[in-house]
């Protein structure tokens, strides 16, 4: 669902989105279709060599500029190979499952997220951590009023225990709470498309029509959560959606990876815990749910604390971070000559140059014409996702087969990390077609902003650090 939330926001911003899903993901295809999102099926085992080849082929055919990977089988080797395609790589990693991070971005949207799980990462890897990046689906974000009025006595109970619920916890909870709830209480049960106990639950509901309704593969979860005075839920994605909606909740951990979610919400007094699925008892369920029904103050506390944790802007923040560095490069052509001349004569650029004299347009035209004809020189104009030119990068191959890089950023786009992004994107694109021995740049020692841009792009100062002929620091790219 988090990938869907990200896709919804990307579509809203005018991007084209396509899902590449495994056969296991086909039950969710209906969600994609309802959102007007296309998909293709990948038949290889996730993370395998065959999957790598199939995904790279898909990237080439689709022209995708960014790929988002979500799954524990996408390890460091897989991500590194995918990144070599030139696409911007985004990896969902909740627990630091990758032994080393080669992706451009790592998203861990969980409340408990910590950078301690990602100490082995490339220098260019950006970590998007914590609930401020929680990806809430559009149908939740569009809900008009999240502030719930807390009833004196809870009368509406929502029960939702995951898409499959193989252990039939749904029946265990129903048998525990129905006999003890007030006569005017209503229980709504949500069961997913993969639930193997649908028949049993429906038969049970037929015997309790006065206060029990069953919703199969519900399409209106925000409405159901807004209706509920309390919810009994698995401690997965649904728990965080309940937090967003401000619904008081009691959580059951149905898998090990839900334990940190449950603990985080419980420690913040945003949920009560029913414990692990293997240890909960009918008496415990009945006691805690009964307390929630009658304890208005507790429900108010849970709702107030939960609603502050997730504000619904996580997808916007994540996409803003990703697209800030989403650079498109096109070879410089004759029409770019004047733009490059204006950039090169910008006062900041002149001050950082080894020759600080202003360049005449005539001299610039002569230089540009020579560079266009020089097979050892490649120059690109960098544009953002909206097509606005934001800078340039030039690659000059020396006699030893190494490439000297020159980069500059349009004045109104400085201070946004654009320089490092242009360098990273430029190297990926240049290396794909030219395969040089390596990359370096010579920079004045006082040009701190350029040094930092190259360092963020994976460069480090060489030994010796200085080029004494130019009074320059030499920075060398380390990732080849």
Identical fold, 2-135 and 325-477: no
Task: Please tell me the CATH code under which domain 2-135 is placed.
Answer: 3.40.50.11190
Q: Where are the domains of the chain?
A: 2-135, 140-307, 325-477
Cis ω before 145 (30° cut-off from 0): no
Q: Residue 297 belongs to what H/E stretch?
A: helix 296-307
d(CA 72, CA 96): 10
For position 61, what pLDDT does the model report?
85
The closest of 210, 207, 159 to 183, measured between CA atoms, is 210
Query: What pLDDT, on a 0 to 100 scale, did the predictor assign at position 328?
Result: 87
CATH topology of domain 325-477: Aminopeptidase (3.40.630)
Question: Scanning the structure block, which residue is given the tokens 């690109």?
Answer: 380
Nearest to 101 by CA among 77, 130, 129: 77
- DSSP letters along 404-432, please? EEEEEE-GGGTTSSHHHHHHHHHHHHHHH
Tokens of 214: 């069953």
Query: Are 399 and 375 a contacting pair, CB within 8 Å?
Result: no
Q: What pLDDT is attached to residue 466?
A: 58
Mean pLDDT by 10 residues, the chain (480 residues): 91 86 75 85 89 91 88 92 87 91 94 93 91 95 90 97 91 94 94 89 91 91 97 95 97 94 96 95 95 97 96 92 83 97 96 94 97 97 88 97 96 86 89 92 94 88 66 84
**Chain centroid to CA 477:** 27
**Rounded alpha-carbon distances, angstroms, from residue 376 to 197, 296, 401, 404, 413:** 67, 74, 10, 11, 29
Residue recorded with tokens 């910008």: 346
Tell me which fold the domain 140-307 belongs to. Answer: Rossmann fold (3.40.50)
Torsion from C-alpha of 210, 211, 217, 219, nearest 10 degrees = 100
């Amino acid at each position: 669902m988090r990938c869907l939330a990200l896709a919804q926001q990307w579509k809203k911003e005018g991007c084209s989105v396509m899902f590449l899903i495994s056969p296991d993901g086909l039950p969710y295809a209906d969600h994609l279709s309802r959102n007007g999102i296309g998909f293709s099926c990948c038949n290889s085992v996730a993370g395998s060599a065959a999957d790598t080849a199939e995904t790279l082929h898909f990237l080439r055919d689709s022209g995708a500029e960014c790929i988002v990977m979500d799954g524990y089988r996408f390890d460091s080797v897989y991500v590194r190979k995918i990144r070599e395609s030139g696409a911007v790589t985004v990896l969902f990693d909740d627990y630091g499952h990758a032994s080393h991070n080669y992706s451009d971005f790592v998203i861990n949207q969980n409340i408990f997220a910590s950078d301690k799980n990602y100490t082995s990462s490339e220098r260019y890897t950006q970590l998007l951590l914590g609930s401020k990046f929680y990806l809430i689906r559009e149908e939740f974000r569009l809900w008009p009023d999240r502030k719930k009025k807390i009833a004196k006595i809870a009368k509406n109970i929502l029960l939702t225990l995951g898409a499959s619920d193989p252990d039939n916890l749904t029946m265990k909870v129903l048998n525990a709470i129905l006999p003890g709830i007030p006569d005017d209480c209503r229980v709504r049960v949500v069961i997913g498309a993969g639930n193997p106990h649908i028949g049993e639950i429906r038969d049970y509901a037929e015997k309790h029509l006065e206060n029990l309704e069953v919703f199969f593969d519900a399409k209106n979860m925000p409405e159901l959560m807004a209706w509920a005075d309390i919810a009994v839920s698995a401690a997965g994605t649904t728990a965080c959606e309940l937090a967003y909606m401000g619904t008081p909740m009691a959580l059951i951990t149905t898998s090990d990876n839900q334990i940190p979610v449950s603990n985080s919400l419980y420690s913040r007094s945003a949920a009560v815990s029913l414990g692990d699925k293997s240890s909960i008892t009918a008496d415990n369920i009945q006691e805690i749910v009964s307390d929630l029904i009658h304890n208005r103050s507790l429900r108010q506390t849970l709702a107030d604390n939960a609603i502050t944790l997730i504000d619904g802007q996580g997808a916007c923040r994540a996409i803003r971070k990703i697209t800030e560095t989403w650079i498109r490069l096109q070879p410089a052509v004759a029409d770019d000559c004047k733009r490059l001349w204006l950039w090169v004569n910008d006062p900041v650029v002149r001050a950082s140059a080894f020759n600080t004299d202003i360049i005449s347009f005539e001299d610039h035209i002569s230089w540009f014409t020579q560079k266009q004809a020089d097979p050892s020189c490649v120059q690109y104009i960098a544009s953002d996702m909206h097509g606005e030119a934001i800078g340039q990068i030039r690659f000059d191959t020396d006699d030893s087969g190494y490439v000297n890089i020159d980069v500059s950023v349009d004045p109104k786009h400085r201070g946004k990390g654009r320089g490092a992004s242009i360098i990273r994107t430029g190297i990926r694109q240049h290396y794909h077609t030219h395969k040089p021995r390596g990359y370096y740049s010579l920079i004045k020692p006082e040009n701190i902003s350029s040094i930092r841009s190259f360092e963020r792009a994976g460069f480090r100062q060489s030994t010796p650090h200085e080029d004494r002929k130019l009074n320059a620091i030499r920075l060398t790219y380390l990732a080849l």
